[in-house]
Amino acid sequence: MIDRGYGEATTLECRNDSHEVTDKQRRRKEILFIMRDIDGSSRIMTAMEIADELLSHGFVNRLDRNNAAPRLTEMCQDGTIDVIGKKKDKWTGRMVTCYKIREA
């Protein structure tokens, strides 16, 4: 452990370290793989549903919405996927965003 004094930016440092080692392109490909049905059509899914399938396919080692959410935000911004509505999340009971791959 590295000792830090009061006020040092340890949290930002750790976040930046994690950001640098994350293979974002690989995770984007895994998300697109999960969002496609066997017949190639796009599935409507929430971030947590995608995270659950990332776990079941062995792409991640624990169930965490943050395994998908940051990439989903990027993919919405670059036009790869679209927000198409919301539905009740089975884990939290709250209304959450639904995503679908943008069809050309």
Report the CATH number that the domain containing residue 85 is assigned in CATH: 1.10.10.10
Closest CA to 63 of 76, 81, 83, 47: 47
Look up the pTM and report it: 0.81
Q: Where are the beta strands (DSSP E) in 7-101?
A: 81-88, 95-101
CB 45 within 8 Å of CB 98:
yes
> What's the domain count of the chain?
1
Tokens of 100: 């679908």
In a domain, 60, yes or no: yes
Is residue 100 within 8 Å of 82, Cβ to Cβ?
yes
pLDDT, residue 14, reads: 67
Domain-embedded: residue 43: yes
| Residue 10 pLDDT exceeds 80 | no
Report which secondary-structure segment, H or E, holds 61: none
Distance CA 89, CA 98 (A): 10
Summary mean pLDDT of the chain: 88
Answer whether residue 13 is part of any domain. Answer: no
User: What DSSP state is assigned to residue 94?
Assistant: S
Is residue 17 included in any domain, yes or no?
A: no
> Residue 7: inside a domain, yes or no?
no
Helix (H, G, I), strand (E, B) or coil at 65: helix
Q: What is the pLDDT of residues 46-85, one digit of tens each?
A: 999 999 999 999 999 999 999 999 999 999 999 999 999 9
Write out the residue range of the structural domain in which residue 58 sits.
25-101
Does the residue 92 lie in any domain? yes
